[in-house]
Every structure is written in C-alpha cells, then in structure tokens.
C-alpha cells in the first residue's frame, strides 16, 4: 500500500518547499508538493523533482570509504567501525599531542540546511574548543546592514509583495532562484502592478518585467542614494520620518553635500533623468516594495549598498507599509534549541577565508578537517591556499552523498542520508513556515544521518577515552528533532507541544508586514539612518557610497558567476555533465578578441587561468562576462580557481563574519591557437 | 541529420534488386531465354528477397513482434509494404515451383511476383514521403526506389546471362540500364535544385550532400562511370564485353548502396529550432 | 470529433525552469534519455530586444497525428477527447513515428527498444486531475484546455511561435500566449 510522508526540501534556497513523498513497499516512487503550504502551494521546482533519481542514483556513495592517496580516486570500501576507529584514534592522538582540541576543525555550511545537520557542530562542541568555520559565503553584508538599520534582520511575509502597486526587483532573479515568488509577482502584474527589475544583466526575471534597468556592477548603493537625493529635492519624503527615524538631518546633509546626480549617472550607468523618473515614481506610489537579492551585496561595498537601499525605502515612507518594505530575508524562525552543550572558546575562522586563515594557525596547527555540507574545492575562493592546507592536514573526513570535487581530497568518505531517510526540522530564510522532515525509506546502503554519525563517533571517543566527548552517544532522531522546538519556537509557531508539528508544517505567527508600527529594535528603537553600532564597528554611521573595486588594465573584465536555475551552488540535477564552462560575453567583445561563438578561449587573472567555450549574450555590457553556476565533470578545473577572497564591508555583527565579495573577480580574455585548446 | 540505417539500406536495395530480376525475367520471357540462366536468376532473386526480409528485422526494436506490422493497412504505408512483400515472397515460391517444372507457367508466376514486388517497392517508397522531411517528401522518392529496381535488376541479369543470353537480349538489357542511369541523373539534378528552395531543412540536406565525400563517390560510381562506359559502348556498338558488364554492375551496386545510405543520412526533418 | 484537449502555453509567464519536464520524469520515472516534455528557449533573434523566452512542448495530441498515420502496428489511438495514446505493448520499435513527428515527441527508448511518448496523463485526466506537467507549473504558464474556435478567437492566443514547425503539418493541439517585451534601459 502506498504510504505518504512529509519532507522539507533542505537546499539552501528561498523557497524551502514542503514535500509529500509516496513510497510503495519501502521504495520511493514519487514526490509532490504539499498543497497545505500557502507559499509553495503544492508545487515543486525541477531540482526537487529529480530527488528520486538522486536518492537511488548509482553514483551515490553507499558505504564508508578510504582513499589511499588523496586525489588518486583509489577508494576502498571500509566498515563504519573501521572508519570511526580511524577518526576517533586520530582525534585522541591529536589531542594528546597538542594538549588541546584546537587542531580539530569543522567546516560546515548549507549542503543540507536542516536543524539536525547542526549535529556535526554539537559533536565538535562535545570534544572541547575546536577550530570552526564561521560566517556565511552568502548574505553577510546585507544581514549586518539591515541589523544596523532596523535592529534585526527581518522582512515581511513574501506573499505581501502581491499588494505592491510598484515592485522593484533589485539584483534578484526569482525566475531562477525563488520560482514560487513568480506567481505572486505575475498575479500582481495581472492586477496592474508595475514591476521594474534592476540588475547587471538581463535575467529571466528582468526579461519579464515592465522595465529593466541595467546598473554598473557595485554601484547600486550610489543609485539608491541618488534616488534618495531626488526624494529630498522633490519633497517626496514621508512627513512622519522625524517620529520614527534617527539621523535624518545628517543623512539629508550627506545627500546634499556628497551626492551629485550627474556624477551618479556617470558612475551607475543610469541616466540622470531616468534616476529622477524612477525616484519620483517610487516616492509617489503606495505601496511600493523593494526586494533586494544577495548578489548586489557580494561586493566590498555590499553592506553600504543594502543600507542605501533601506534608506531609500525609509525616506519614501515605505518601511512598515503593507505591501511595501525592503525585503531581503530573515532568520527569525531559526531559533532552534540546539543540543544544550556548553559554549566553547572555539578558534573561529571566517568561512570565506578558511584556508588562508587555517594556514596561519599555529599552536596547534590544523591536523584534522571535517567537511560537512560543504564543497569548498568547487565553491570557495583561494583554491591555491586550499591545496596548501590539504597538504598540511593529517586527516580529512567528508560526509556527503556523492564524490564531490572536495571529496577527492578526503581520506575518509562517510555516506550521508538524504532528507528521505532521516528526521529533521527545517525553516526558511524567506517565508515563515517551519516543517518536520520524516524519513520515508530506510537509509540507502549503509548511509547514516549526520546525527547518527555524531552519536557513533562520540561513543567511539568515549570508549577510547572516557569523557572525551560530552555529546550523547545514542538517542532518538525523532525526539532530537522535536526537541529543537524549544519554548521560543513553540510560542512563535503557536503550538502547545512539539508533537503538533508532526501533523503538518506550521507558519510562524508573525504579523505579515515587517515593522508595521515602526517599532524598530535598534538601540534608539528608531529606524537608524545614523547607526552608532555601525560606527562602533568601524564603519561610517550613515549609509554612504564607497566605490567597489574596478577592473584594471590587465584584467579588464568583471566575471560574474550567478546562480543557475538548475543548480544550488555545486548541487545539480543535470544528467549530462559538461567538460567545460560556458563564458557569456557581449557580441562586440567577440569581435574585439577575434573570437567565434563556440570557440575555446582562455580567461585568466593573477590566481589562475581557465579554458572556456565562448557564448554570446546580447544584453551584457562590454566590461562584464558571465559564467553561470554549471554542473561540470569532476576532472575539469574549478571555475573558482579565479576567485580571490576579497571580503565585503559588513558581516561581523550579526552574520558571524564578513561576506565574500565574489563579484569583484576580474579576468582577462584571450583567443587560443588550436594547439593550445584542450577541448 | 539522419542516421546510417544499414538494415534499411540492405532491405530496400536487396529487395529492389530481387524484384528487378524477376521483372526482367518476365520481360525477357517474351522470347526464348536460356533455361539455365533463367533458373539461376530466379534462384538468386529468391535468395536476395529472403536476405532483404531478414535484414529488415534488424531495424526493429522488437523483431519478435514483426508480424504485427501488417495490422494498420488503412493508413500506414509500412503495413502495406510488408503485406506486399510477404505476398511477393509467397508468389516467389509459386514462381520457383513453376520454374522447376518443364512446362510450368513461369511467365504468369513472374508477372504475379513482380506485380506484388513492385507494389511493395512503391509502398516502401511512400513510407518516406513524409511532410516532416522535405528531402523525402517528393516524387523523387518512389522514382529513386523504382530506378534502383530497374538498374540493379537489369545489371544482375546482364552479369548472370553475359555468356548465355542472345546479343539482342543483352542489348535490350543494356538499354534498360542506360535509361535508368539517364533518368536517375536528370531526376536527381531536378530534385536537388528544387530541394534547395524547399526551406531550411531542404537546404541543409543539399549542403550535407554536396559536402559529403560519399555523395561524390556515388556521383562517380552511380552516374559518371556508367555513363561513360555506356556512351562509349553505344557509340561503338561492338559485341558486349563481359568486363564492361561486370564493371557496370560493381560501380552501380556501390553507387546504389551509397545512394540509399545517403538517402537516410541526409534526411533533415522539420523540427523545433531553439537556442542551445 | 467533438472535443480536443490540448495545452495553452503562456510564454510570458514560462520562466524556463523545466519544472514541467521534471514533474513528468518524477511521476513516470522515465529513463534518462526520455524527454516526453521539453523546454526550449526561443532564439533571441526572433525579437527586437534581447529576450529570455521559452516554450514547453510535450506531445501536442495533434488533430492530424502523423505518428498515428504512419504506425504499422496501430499502436496509436486518438480518444474521443482528442488525447493521442501510444500503446507501449503494441509498439515494435520501427521508429517511423519518430521520423514523422515534427516536434520530436515520440522517442525511442533504447533500454526497452520501443518508442514512448506523453499520453497526457490520461489516467489522471480521467479522474478529473490535471496532467503532471500542468499541475506542477509554478508560474502557472501551462494549462490544459479545450482547443476550439472560441479559444482561437480570443485576442492574444497564437497558433505558433518562432522556431516551431508549421502547424499545417499535424494541426497540433497547442496554443500560445505570446511573449511581451518590457522596456530595457541597457548600458550596451
């Protein structure tokens, strides 16, 4: 008889869909969206709909394995017992050698965003102070910016956007990265709302908007400030601003003295009259909503950009307005109870410069690295540092589903379960829903959940040396998942007992409009144009324009690497993998460099060079080239070899560390002779 | 571009040769024909027909259910083709039984067999007259298949009877061959020029053909060489040289096989054109 | 024929996410080589401005199905509601339908040596449900509709889009709401 189970898609994605699976005789046969979810509405994206292929994929690793020599591909199957013995022994030895546990490092992020995937962190906390990757490669600058402005990082319920009469999609491409937002936007358009898309290239979303405004990369903050200035000049500011904001006079002074529309037009690439027209429309239309994507804060001035856009929203009086606001994301529903372990004095390394900072660690140096939900050799910057770090490390453990690019460097591979094989609890950083994830099938092969691996390793450690790990050695996955709903979360969800979440996913009981009564949680309890916390963090108190890095003569092209609809970072669902990346360029660059469409060319900078196939995008400016996230053969060189770990300006206060200024990667392009081409 | 359909190339070319032989036998039978030649030719035609039918099975995903292929006669030319060929095969058994009898009704039997066979070949060609494939969707397709029948049927009989047939019979056969080659050249020239104006797909077929060395090999083997040999022969009108017959046979067989392979290879169907 | 079910595809709303394609694969767990439904990006040169426009094409359940006409075993039937069904059990894998269909929808499956195609989830349709592709479309760009003259009379409903074969070959049961282009303030 078919059985149904609840799941939540655990990918690092806005939509975090509620899924219902169907199993027959313990085998997954199909999945569908959960119609009871008011955001995902019973519909799933193509990535999720490939899940069954993923779960039973022949190339999924089903047993623990050991690699005799790193990067050799020479893997041997081993038992869990052997694998955990090896790891535990190495941990105990390192601890004995150094007299502490700081040589043990964990680098975990968003391969699976379920709450029980924090089990690896709990395990490490149980061992003592260790070395950890902290922060986020994704959204840090923006998170801090909104924390300075509003007091915390929060945004309206995403369906509220449907009420907007004017909708500005700023550097966000929901058609590819948050597809469930599209029907909300389309419905608003059908009801007569106007949609304007600001981006550096013509995205799928931009192509469907009423108007596409192409902005020079890294100058969005200035564009917002220039529009703020127009609002002042045209007297389109909210007349109650003095009641609920701080530093308005100073901000207006800054705009008056430091922002010049003609200069802004020059720098942003948007004509002054268009800036004026846009600002007036934004100032005069209510409600008007801005949705800011993550890409535009991945610059060295990314935090300021977000602060400038927030300020524009505030100045026009759209903050706290139903159907208005500046949407970015939130993590209010992520307040899981954890494992109740003591806070350790960990050695914290910024996840974006992990290899660089790890190499600088001394007393003790890093000896053991555990990679969980991470694929740094495909996704990180500083790949040369990573390869040096790998040489230094004495043991590399990875737990994952497939032999990823990073698994090639590992000594031990531990097979992980998918969200159809374990209990978990998941929240979204976009909508307000929280849902339980039930196992629908037994683990494939010998795969184990992160929690079970953590218990088993803790048991091993305690057997080798009693008291060496305070994390539990066994338990119930289901109970652990339910326990994540502590009193705070229960109140937020309006539940009496955690068990109620087993019946259906629950939406947090937040008012749908963020900051609706202008009750901000900044130190001044006001919207802060002028932030003392920013000042204390060594930043300007006001949102200001600071230029991002610009291309140089040697590397004249800015390389953007946006998300693709078929990928979540390095997780893909494509059947056929390519041997190479496609590079999209303006047709005139094709002429300038004497290239033909489909020809192999080289891009390079001081960090690496990469051969690519050239394709044309008519909408790209001549100083920007694009390589989308793309599923690529393991043996192919990682595109990220071109990336240096420039950091964004903000991230330390609320996001755990500064973000990665990934969009400040510059390259040069070269035609290759036939003999130089490797494909 | 299409694919190299070896089972279909063999099925059609061998089947057409077989039927061609029987048709030529029926034609020659107006006057006295050497009985040993007749028997040899009749036997060979059966052999080729059997080979052709076996080859056709290799095209199917599930050859074990090939018998079902006759079940959609109302609209499917493929059903009609298979039925006609099956009838032709049965008729051939009757034909051969008559050939073995001294006073058998072999001319009637040959007539019946070649009628079924020619209907089969016509149906076979009509399978490809698809609106989706401009390269096939013309009168050239049935013409091409029927010309192969005449050319290879005639040439096979010429080779078999080169020593025993009367000069007048041989000359008659050479005339059939010459006519087939001439019509083939002329019709193909007209076909190519018309195809080049039949939209993108037709143009790409033409471009593919003109760029393919196989096509130019066919031009030589199927048309140029036979034309030179035959024109030289007809201009001198000497006795028939056995080497001439064998050279013609080899050249034309290669040419026709290539022609058929290219027929499948160069087929470009109308399809969705989009990015990537 | 009094009824003809078919698709209405809104190319303005279709974002090319391939959700329809994958919903089909999820439901039928088809072989990797099979794409009963496929999303195509329309060639940019068809429009005055750079574009990102898509078409989602499954079997068009044509009024004059070429596949059905050429099939020697009668594996294809057209139901009273217009759905063209391919009976896998009857198919002998001659692939003539593959040659005959301008949309490339009947596809030879070399694992089981027969041709397969979209049957418009007729089992679901018979229960009053939507086909998987339509049900899954997040953007609401794909609908199951009756193809008739009143649909064709609506403004904005098109019979074809750039890049598609002429509808005269098979008279496909698909209609389109054509893409619109907004203003583009570009730097190039």
Total count of domains within chain B? 1
* Distance linking the first and last C-alpha atoms of chain C: 53
Q: If we measure between CA atoms, which residue out of C166, C181, C176, C168 comes closest to residue C55?
A: C176
A586, part of any domain: yes
Q: What tens digit of pLDDT does each residue of A534-553 get? A: 999 999 999 999 999 999 99
Whose CA is closest to A150, among A289, A335, A306? A306
Give the pLDDT confidence score for residue A631 in this predicted structure: 85
Contacts with B126 from chain C: Cβ below 8 Å:
none
Q: What is the mean pLDDT of residues B38-43?
A: 96
Q: What is the radius of gyration, based on Cα positions, of chain C?
A: 17
Range A527-533 average pLDDT: 98
Among residues A124, A498, A544, which one has the least CA distance to residue A341?
A124
A223: left (phi over 0), alpha (psi -120 to 50) or beta: alpha
Residues A82 and A219 in one domain: no
Tell me how many domains chain A contains: 3
Q: Convert the pLDDT of each residue in A128-156 to its tens digit.
A: 999 999 999 999 999 999 999 999 999 99
Q: What is the pLDDT of residue A341?
A: 87
At how many degrees (to 10) do helices B167-195 and B6-28 cross?
A: 140
**Left (φ > 0), alpha (ψ -120 to 50) or beta: where does C131 sit?**
beta
Model confidence at C2: pLDDT above 70:
no
Q: In the predicted model, what is the mean pLDDT of residues A169-186?
A: 97
Return all residues near A347 (Cβ < 8 A) that are at least 6 apart: A102, A129, A130, A131, A132, A361
Average pLDDT score over residue span A91-107: 97
Q: List, edge to edge, every strand of the sheet that includes C5-10.
A: C142-146, C5-10, C174-177, C157-158
* Measured distance between the N- and C-terminal CA atoms of chain A, rounded to whole angstroms: 51
Q: Can you state the angle between helices A119-127 and A450-464, rounded to 10 degrees?
A: 20
- Cα–Cα dist B31/B251, whole Å: 29
Judge whether residue B198 has pLDDT over 60.
yes
Residues A559/A582, Cβ–Cβ less than 8 Å? no
Q: By CB neighbour count within 10 A (0-12 exposed, 13-18 middle, 19+ buried), where does A98 fall?
A: middle
Give the model confidence (pLDDT) of A347-376 as tens digits.
999 999 999 999 999 989 999 999 999 999
Q: Does the model's ipTM exceed the 0.90 cut?
A: yes
Is the CB of residue A639 less than 8 Å from the CB of residue A610?
Answer: yes
Q: Cβ neighbours of residue B242 under 8 Å, at least 6 residues apart? A: B162, B163
Same domain, A146 and A242: yes
Closest CA to A652 of A10, A145, A72: A145
Report whether pLDDT(C1) > 60. Answer: no
Q: For residues A524 and B133, what is the distance between their CA atoms, to the nearest angstrom?
A: 75
Does A312 lie in the same domain as A278? yes
**Cα-Cα-Cα-Cα dihedral sign, residues B255, B261, B265, B270:** positive
Question: pLDDT (tens digit, 9 = 90+) per residue, A180-194?
Answer: 999 999 999 999 999
Q: Any chain C CB within 8 A of the CB of A615?
A: no
Q: Is the minimum CB–CB distance between B63 and chain C shorter than 8 Å?
A: yes
Query: Would A250 be classed as within a structural domain?
Result: yes
Tell me, yes or no, whether A119 lies in a domain: yes
Residues A587 and A570 in one domain: yes
Instruction: Give, to the nearest 10 degrees, the angle between helix B167-195 and helix B199-211.
Output: 130
**Chain C interface includes B132 (CB < 8 A):** yes
**Cα gap A564→A573, rounded to integer Å:** 11
Select the residue of A46, A52, A274 nearest C17 (Cβ to Cβ).
A46
- Cα separations in angstroms, C21 against B127, C32, C54, C141: 32, 12, 13, 13
CA neighbor of A18 nearest in space, from A28, A30, A10? A10
Instruction: Say whether pLDDT at A508 is over 60.
Output: yes
**CATH code at position B104:** 1.20.1630.10
Domain that holds residue A96: 65-130+337-415+448-507
CATH value at residue A100: 3.40.50.740
pLDDT at B179: 96
Q: How many CB pairs under 8 A join B and C?
A: 108
Interchain contact C66–B (C-beta under 8 A): yes
In the prediction, which pLDDT does A342 show?
84
Q: What would the two tokens of residue A484 be?
A: 């994540």
Statement to judge: residues A194 and A324 lie in one domain: yes
CB B199 within 8 A of CB B134: yes
pLDDT (tens digit per residue) in C21-65: 999 999 999 988 899 999 999 998 888 888 899 999 999 999 999
Which whole number is the average pLDDT over A75-102? 97
Residues A193 and A120 in one domain: no
Task: Kindly tell me if the per-residue pLDDT of B19 is higher than 70.
Answer: yes
Mean pLDDT, chain B, as a whole number? 94
Phi and psi at A201, nearest 5°, equal -140, 165
Cis amide bond preceding A220, omega within 30: no
Task: Examine residue A433 and state whether it is found in any structural domain, yes or no.
Answer: no
Distances, alpha carbon B144 to alpha carbons A410, B180, B250, B259, in Å: 64, 10, 19, 9
Contact A575 C32 (CB under 8 A): yes
CB contact under 8 A, C92 and B59: no
Same domain? A223 vs A313? yes
DSSP states of A402-451: S--TGGGG-SEEEEBP-TTSS-EEEE-SSS-EEEEE---SPPSTT-B-HH
- Residue A247 to residues A223, A250, A315, B75: CA-CA distances in angstroms? 20, 5, 11, 82
Partners for C (CB, 8 Å, 3+ pairs)? A, B
**Are residues A352 and A494 part of one domain?**
yes
* pLDDT band with cut points at 50, 70 and 90 for residue B73: very high
A562-591 residues touching C, CB cutoff 8 A = 565-566, 573, 575, 586, 588
Residue A195 lies in a domain: yes
Q: Examine residue B272 and state whether it is found in any structural domain, yes or no.
A: no
Residue C73, min C-alpha distance to chain A (Å): 32
- A43 lies in some domain: no
Q: Are A652 and A658 in contact (CB under 8 A)?
A: yes
Q: Give residues 290 to 329 of A whose Cβ lies within 8 Å of C.
A: none
What is each CA distance from B242 to A344, B192, B230, in whole angstroms? 101, 34, 13
Q: Please write the tens of the pLDDT for every residue from B126-159.
A: 999 999 999 999 999 999 999 999 999 999 999 9
Residues 239 through 268 of chain A touching chain C, CB cutoff 8 Å = none
Distance CA A149, CA A244 (A): 12
- At A575 the pLDDT is 65
Which of A340, A282, A333, A337 lies closest to A311 in space, CA to CA? A282
Same-domain check for residues A503 and A517: no
The interface residues of chain B toward chain C in range 64-123, judged by CB-CB distance below 8 A, are: 65-66, 68-72, 75-79, 82
Question: How many angstroms separate the Cα of A227 from the Cα of each of A168, A172, A213, C136?
Answer: 13, 19, 14, 40
Residue B276: pLDDT band with limits 50, 70, 90: low
Q: Is C73 on the interface with B (CB under 8 A)?
A: yes
Which residue's entry shows tokens 């979303």? A205
Mean pLDDT, residues A592-600 = 94
What local confidence, expressed as pLDDT, does residue C186 receive? Answer: 86
Please tell me the distance from the alpha carbon of residue A562 to that of residue B23, in angstroms, as a whole number.
69
Q: Which residues of C touch B273 (CB under 8 A)?
A: 43, 163
Q: Are C163 and C40 in contact (CB under 8 A)?
A: yes
Q: Please, what is the average pLDDT of chain A?
A: 96
Mean pLDDT along residues A92-114: 97
A149 & A286 share domain: yes
Bridge partner list, A197: A169, A212
Alpha helical stretches, state H, A285-394: 302-315, 354-359, 376-379, 383-392
B112 in any annotated domain: yes
With respect to residue B22, please indicate whether it lies within any of the assigned structural domains. Answer: yes
Query: What DSSP designation does A648 have?
Result: P
- Structural domains of chain C ordered from first start: 5-177 (3.30.70.20)
β-pairing verdict for A609-616 and A600-604: antiparallel
Report yes or no: C10 at the A interface, CB cutoff 8 Å: no
- pLDDT higher at A249 or A679: A249
pLDDT tens string A488-506? 999 999 999 999 999 999 9
Mean of pLDDT values over B209-227: 96
Partner-chain contact C102 B72, CB within 8 Å: no
Q: What is the largest CA-CA distance in chain A?
A: 73
For residue B111, being part of any structural domain is answered with yes
Residues 6+ apart with CB under 8 A from B18: B44, B45, B46, B47, B48, B49, B52, B117
Whether the pLDDT of residue C95 is over 90: the answer is yes
| CATH number of the domain encompassing residue A571 | 2.40.40.20
- 3-class state of residue A633 by DSSP: coil
Nearest to B270 among C40, C92, C169 (CB): C169
Strands C107-109 and C114-116: antiparallel
pLDDT at C181: 85
Q: Are the C-beta atoms of residues A414 and A64 closer than 8 Å to each other?
A: yes
* Domain co-membership, A472 together with A619: no
Residue A637 has a pLDDT of 86
In a domain, B274, yes or no: no
Q: Are A67 and A74 in contact (CB under 8 A)?
A: yes
Q: Which range of residues forms the domain containing residue B188? A: 6-265
Q: Is residue B273 part of a domain?
A: no
- For residues A641 and A381, the answer to whether their CB atoms sit within 8 Å is no
A497 and A357 inside one domain = yes
Give domain status of residue A578, yes or no: yes
In a domain, A33, yes or no: no
Residue B239 scores a pLDDT above 80:
no
């Amino acid at each position: 008889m078919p059985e149904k189970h609840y799941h939540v898609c655990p990918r690092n994605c806005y939509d975090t869909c509620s899924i219902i699976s169907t199993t027959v005789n313990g085998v997954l046969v199909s999945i569908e969206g959960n119609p009871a979810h008011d955001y995902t509405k019973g519909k799933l994206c193509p990535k999720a709909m490939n899940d069954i292929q993923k779960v039973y994929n022949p190339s999924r690793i089903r047993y623990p394995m050991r690699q005799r020599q790193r990067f050799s591909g020479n893997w041997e199957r081993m038992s869990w017992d052997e694998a955990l013995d090896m790891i535990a022994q190495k941990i105990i030895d390192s601890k004995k050698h150094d007299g502490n546990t700081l040589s043990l490092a964990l680098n975990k992020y968003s391969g699976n965003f379920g709450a029980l995937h924090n089990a690896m962190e709990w395990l490490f906390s149980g061992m003592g102070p260790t070395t950890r990757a902290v922060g986020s490669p994704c959204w840090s600058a923006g998170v801090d910016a909104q924390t300075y402005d509003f007091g915390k990082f929060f945004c309206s319920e995403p369906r509220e956007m449907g009420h907007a009469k004017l909708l500005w999609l700023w550097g966000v491409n929901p058609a590819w990265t948050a597809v469930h937002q599209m029907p909300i936007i389309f419905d608003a358009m059908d009801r007569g709302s106007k949609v304007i898309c600001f981006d550096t290239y013509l995205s799928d979303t931009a192509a469907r908007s009423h108007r596409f405004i192409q902005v020079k990369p890294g100058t969005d903050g200035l564009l917002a400030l220039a529009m703020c200035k127009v609002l002042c000049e045209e007297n389109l500011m909210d007349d109650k601003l003095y009641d609920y904001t701080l530093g308005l006079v100073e901000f207006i002074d800054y705009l008056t003295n430091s922002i010049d529309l003609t200069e802004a037009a020059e720098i942003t690439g948007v004509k002054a009259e268009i800036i004026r027209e846009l600002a007036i429309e934004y100032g005069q239309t209510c409600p008007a909503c801005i949705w800011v994507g993550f890409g535009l804060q991945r610059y060295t001035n990314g935090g300021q950009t977000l602060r400038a856009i927030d300020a524009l929203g505030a100045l026009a009086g759209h903050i706290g307005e139903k159907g208005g606001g500046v949407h970015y994301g939130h993590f209010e529903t992520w307040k899981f109870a954890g494992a109740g372990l003591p806070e350790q004095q960990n050695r914290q390394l910024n996840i974006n410069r992990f290899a660089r900072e790890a190499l600088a660690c001394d007393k003790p140096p890093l000896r053991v690295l555990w990679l969980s939900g991470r694929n740094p050799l495909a996704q990180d910057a500083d790949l040369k540092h990573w390869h040096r770090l790998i040489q230094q490390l004495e043991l590399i453990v990875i737990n994952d589903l497939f032999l990823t690019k990073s698994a090639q460097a590992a000594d031990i591979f531990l097979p992980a379960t998918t969200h159809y094989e374990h209990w978990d609890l998941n929240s979204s950083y976009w909508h307000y829903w929280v849902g339980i994830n039930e196992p629908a099938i037994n683990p494939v092969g010998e795969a184990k959940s992160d929690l079970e691996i953590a218990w088993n390793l803790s048991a091993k450690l305690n057997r080798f040396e009693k008291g060496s790990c305070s994390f539990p050695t066994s338990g119930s996955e289901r109970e652990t998942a339910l326990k994540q709903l502590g009193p705070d979360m229960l109140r937020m969800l309006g539940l009496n007992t955690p068990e109620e979440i087993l019946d259906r996913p629950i939406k947090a009981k937040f008012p749908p409009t963020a900051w609706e009564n202008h009750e901000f949680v900044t130190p001044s309890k006001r919207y802060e144009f002028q932030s003392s916390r920013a000042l204390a963090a060594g930043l300007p108190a006001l949102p200001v324009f600071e230029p991002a890095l610009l291309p140089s003569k040697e590397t004249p092209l800015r390389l953007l690497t946006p998300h693709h609809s078929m990928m979540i970072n390095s997780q893909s669902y494509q059947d056929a993998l390519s041997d190479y990346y496609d590079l999209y360029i303006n047709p005139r660059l094709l002429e300038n460099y004497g290239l033909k469409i489909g020809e192999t060319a080289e891009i390079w900078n001081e960090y690496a060079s990469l051969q690519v196939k050239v394709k044309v995008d008519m909408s790209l400016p001549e100083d920007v080239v694009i390589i989308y996230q793309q599923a690529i053969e393991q043996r192919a060189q990682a595109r990220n070899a071109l990336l240096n770990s420039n950091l964004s300006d903000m991230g330390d206060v609320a996001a755990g560390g500064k973000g990665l200024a990934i969009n400040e990667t510059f390259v040069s392009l070269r035609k290759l002779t036939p003999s130089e081409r490797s494909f | 571009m299409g694919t190299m359909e070896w089972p279909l190339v063999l099925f059609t070319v061998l089947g057409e040769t077989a039927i061609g032989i029987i048709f030529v036998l029926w034609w020659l039978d107006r006057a006295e024909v050497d009985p040993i030649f007749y028997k040899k030719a009749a036997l060979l035609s059966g052999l080729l027909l059997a080979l052709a039918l076996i080859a056709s099975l290799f095209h199917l995903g599930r050859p074990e259910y090939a018998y079902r292929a006759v079940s959609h006669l109302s609209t499917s030319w493929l059903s009609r083709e298979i039925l006609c060929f099956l009838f032709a095969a049965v008729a051939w058994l009757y034909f051969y039984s008559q050939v073995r009898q001294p006073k058998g009704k072999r001319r009637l039997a040959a007539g019946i067999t070649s009628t079924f066979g020619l209907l089969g070949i016509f149906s076979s060609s009509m399978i490809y007259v698809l609106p989706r494939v401009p390269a096939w969707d013309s009168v050239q397709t049935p013409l091409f298949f029927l010309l192969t029948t005449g050319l290879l049927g005639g040439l096979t009989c010429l080779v078999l009877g080169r020593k025993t047939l009367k000069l007048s019979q041989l000359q008659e056969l050479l005339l059939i061959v010459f006519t087939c080659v001439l019509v083939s050249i002329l019709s193909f020239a007209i076909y190519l020029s018309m195809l080049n104006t039949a939209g993108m797909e037709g143009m790409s077929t033409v471009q593919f053909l003109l760029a393919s060395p196989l096509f130019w090999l066919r031009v030589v083997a199927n048309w140029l060489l036979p034309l030179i040999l035959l024109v030289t022969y007809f201009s001198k009108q000497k006795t028939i040289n056995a080497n001439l017959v064998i050279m013609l046979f080899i050249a034309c067989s290669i040419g026709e096989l290539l022609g058929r392979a290219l027929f499948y290879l160069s087929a470009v169907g109308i399809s969705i054109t989009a990015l990537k | 024929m009094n009824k003809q079910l078919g698709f209405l595809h809104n190319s303005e709303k279709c974002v090319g996410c391939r959700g329809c394609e994958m919903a089909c694969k999820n439901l039928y767990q088809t072989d990797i080589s099979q794409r009963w439904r496929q999303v195509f990006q329309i060639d940019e040169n068809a429009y005055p401005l750079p574009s990102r426009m898509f078409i989602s094409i499954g079997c068009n359940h044509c009024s004059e199905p070429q596949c059905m006409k050429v099939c020697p075993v009668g594996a294809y039937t057209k139901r009273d509601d217009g759905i063209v069904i391919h009976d896998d059990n009857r198919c002998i894998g001659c692939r003539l339908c593959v040659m005959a269909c301008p949309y490339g929808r009947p596809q030879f499956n070399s694992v089981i040596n027969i041709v397969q195609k979209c049957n418009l989830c007729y089992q679901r349709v018979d229960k009053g449900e939507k086909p998987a592709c339509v049900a899954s479309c997040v953007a609401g760009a794909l609908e199951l509709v009756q193809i008739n003259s009143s649909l064709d009379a609506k403004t904005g409903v098109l019979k074809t889009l750039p890049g598609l074969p002429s509808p005269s070959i098979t008279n496909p049961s698909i209609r389109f709401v054509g893409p619109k282009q907004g203003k583009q303030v570009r730097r190039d």
